[in-house]
Amino acid sequence: MTSMNTFFTRALVRAAAAIGLAGLAACGSVPSALPPAPMTAAAPDYSYIIGPGDNLNIVVWRNPELSMSVPVRPDGKVSAPLVDEIVAQGKTSVEMAREVEKALAKYVRDPIVTVIVTNFVGPYSEQIRVVGEAAKPQFLPFKQKMTVLDVMIAVGGLTDFADGNSATILRTSDANKQYSVRLKDLIKRGDVSANVEMRPGDILIIPQSFF
């Protein structure tokens, strides 16, 4: 499993570097010339999207025998009592509850269903990816109002070889635009003006310092 994680991390680094270089070539600039990331990024009406690896607590009112906790499979589907398969990936918990109600309506009169998401992972398109010179490069489930400081705490900060102030955010939700972020100023100097909000699908790229 460790070797698989190492392979995955290296693959992410290579992919992010390739995307970053392509973006730089297209705009003819260097990371320091990129616009700073906006302080506020996430839409205020953001709703969590279910993805593989999430766990769903399905509660059917007045039918405890139909209520249960189920994992979202790698194919994005779930199975529950009287429900063979339902696609959960890409739906909110409310949308998923309505889907389960439709399926149960064949067997239960006027079912009322509540779906609660636990063990948050989210779909790949929504995850935050951190590559390069982070202490623990990884992917993280997106949370509303998540900031780059929250991300850096989760990944254990910068390595000794990181060029934190040359880090960039690749914003996949905004046509792969790149923005500069001052991680060194934020983490080492406590400059809160360098703290910015993340968006679903952001890739935080931390380059290595050559000095």
DSSP-derived secondary structure for 17-38: HHHHHHHHHHHT--GGGSPBPP
Average confidence (pLDDT) over 22-44: 64
CA gap 52, 77 in Å, rounded: 8
pTM comes to: 0.79
Pairing label, strands 177-181, 138-140: unpaired
At 5 the three-state DSSP class reads: helix
Neighbours of 56 (CB within 10 A): 24
Predicted pLDDT of residue 84: 87
| Spatial distance between the Cα atoms of 181 and 132, rounded to a whole number of angstroms | 14
Domain residue ranges of the chain, discontinuous segments joined by +: 2-45+124-206, 55-118
Per-residue pLDDT, averaged over 70-93, amounts to 95
pLDDT digits (tens, 9 = 90+) for 139-165: 999 998 999 999 999 999 999 999 999
Rounded Cα–Cα distance for residues 135 and 159 (Å): 5
Spatial separation of the C-alpha atoms in residues 58 and 179, rounded to whole Å: 40
pLDDT tens digits along 97-108: 999 999 999 999
pLDDT of residue 17: 45
Residue 3 has pLDDT above 50, yes or no: no
DSSP, collapsed to helix, strand or coil, labels residue 172 as helix
- Domain 2-45+124-206 indexed as CATH 3.20.20.150: no
Where does the pLDDT of residue 33 fall: very low under 50, low under 70, confident under 90, or very high at 90 and above? Answer: confident
Confidence band, pLDDT 50/70/90 cuts, at residue 31: very low
Q: Do the beta carbons of residue 52 and residue 125 sit within 8 Å? A: no
> Do 2-45+124-206 and 55-118 come out as alike in CATH topology?
no
Query: What distance, in Å, lies between the first and last C-alpha atoms of the chain?
Result: 34
Would you give the DSSP letter of residue 1? -
* Topology given in CATH for the domain delimited by 55-118: wza like fold (3.30.1950)
Reported as type and span, the H/E element at residue 11 is: helix 2-27
158-193 tens-digit pLDDT: 999 999 999 999 999 999 999 999 999 999 999 999
**Diameter of the chain by CA atoms?**
70
Work out the mean pLDDT of the chain and round it to a whole number: 87
